[in-house]
Amino acid sequence: MAESILPHADTVSYTGLPSESELLADPCVSYWLKGAIQQTQQRDVVDAYNDALLLAAILLRRVDTALGRLGCTPKGGH
């Protein structure tokens, strides 16, 4: 079985995290993110969470690849 990319519950902090309604009302938040928040409200929360983690990992790999092509070393050594 593949290693989990789930963060441990004791490492997650919600301090300072805006609520979903605050994000949806914020004109600085992208339409893409607002749409994703709205779509996930209609889904099973665990399935949506797992998909979001997978997307985050894919985007992180894409960033690392792009930075590597530029000769940059990402913070944290990813």
In this prediction the pTM is 0.68
Domain count, the chain: 1
Residue 8 lies in a domain: no
* Cα separation, 78 vs 75, whole angstroms: 7
Residue 2 lies in a domain: no
DSSP string, the chain: -PPP-PPPGGG---TTPPPHHHHHH-TTS-HHHHHHHHHHTTS-HHHHHHHHHHHHHHHHHHHHHHHHHTT---GGG-
Domain range for 65 is 15-77
Q: pLDDT per residue over 53-64, tens digit each?
A: 999 999 999 988
- Assign 12 a pLDDT band (cuts: 50, 70, 90): confident
Residue 1 lies in a domain: no
- Assign 31 a pLDDT band (cuts: 50, 70, 90): very high
For residue 1, pLDDT beyond 60:
no
